Amino acid sequence: MGGHMTTRISQSLPPRLLDCRGLAIDCAAGPVVVGIVNVTPDSFYDGGRHSTTEAAVLHAQRLIEEGAGMLDIGGQSTRPGHQEVTEAEEIARVVPVIAALVGHTSVPLSIDTYRPAVARAALEAGAHVINDIHGLQREPELTMLAVRFGAAMIAMHFDESFAFPPGDVLKMQLSYFRRTLAIAVEAGLPPDRLVIDPGIGFHKTQEQNLELIARIGGLRSLGLPVLLGASRKSVVAHVLGLPPEERLEGTLATTAIAVWQSVEFLRVHDVRANLRAARMAAALRNSLS
């Protein structure tokens, strides 16, 4: 099963292309599945399975063969209760993987980090995207690095007070991402290099997580591509009462709901299954147009 189509950029981009440092993803061509590559010993689902460079590279290659249109490579777990690692350790985990992949694949490589030093090392190794869990609102240097290297950014919603104030969850997120977009524009990062992610599971109640998935299409009103990252997370566990290794079916339901709302990117552990569910949901949605 082939991956999502990428092309070399030669001139200006049409509005629906995401510019990833010279590689373009056509967001209008169908859902893009982003394969997760955790080079960590402690991630909540696959921690330790791909913690060596060799294992991570092999896993990444499998995800590409299954149809991944992007890979998101991380060396620091952000699960609840995670242990911080040093910048040097995070760099040592991710850079060899990126360096091994960059010359042998046509899909963009994303570095999942909130540390500028790690992002810089990853970009120097050839990464195309910075995935910032703080939505460009904590480390300005990350945005400046993306501008300097021509990289794209994924901006996730992360607000430690978000679970407590009353109000419309989607309205609050739209306000947050308007600030993100303003930061990007002021720094010189054009909108065709920005994706937004509602941050399922990050300082949110179960009710907020469910509402965000059910209404995620509303985020597209900002004119930016949207990414859902709900794969095997606790939002599934709270509904089905299952451990991470048994949450695939629940994840596929979130994928179908997101694609029905025209969400462009799906960050998942299981590429083949989610890509099939996404394509089926897209076909059903498109049959009504």
The two structure tokens encoding residue 114: 């909130």
Our answer to whether residue 204 is catalytic in this structure is no
What's the burial of 198, exposed, middle or buried (CB within 10 Å: 0-12/13-18/19+)?
buried
Distance between CA atoms of 30 and 4, rounded to whole angstroms?
A: 8
Q: Exactly one of 267, 272, 276, 285 is catalytic; which is it?
A: 267
Q: Residue 248: which residues within 8 A CB-CB, separation 6 or more? A: 232, 270, 273
Longest dimension (CA), the chain: 51
Our answer to whether residue 171 is catalytic in this structure is no
| DSSP symbol at 226 | B
Q: Exactly one of 193, 232, 233, 247 is catalytic; which is it?
A: 233
User: Which has the closest alpha carbon to 9: 21, 18, 22?
Assistant: 22
Which amino acid appears at position 193 of this protein? R
Q: How far apart are the first and last CA of the chain?
A: 27
Q: Are the CB atoms for 69 and 62 separated by under 8 Å? A: no
Q: Are the CB atoms for 208 and 162 separated by under 8 Å? A: yes
List, by residue number, the catalytic residues: 233, 267
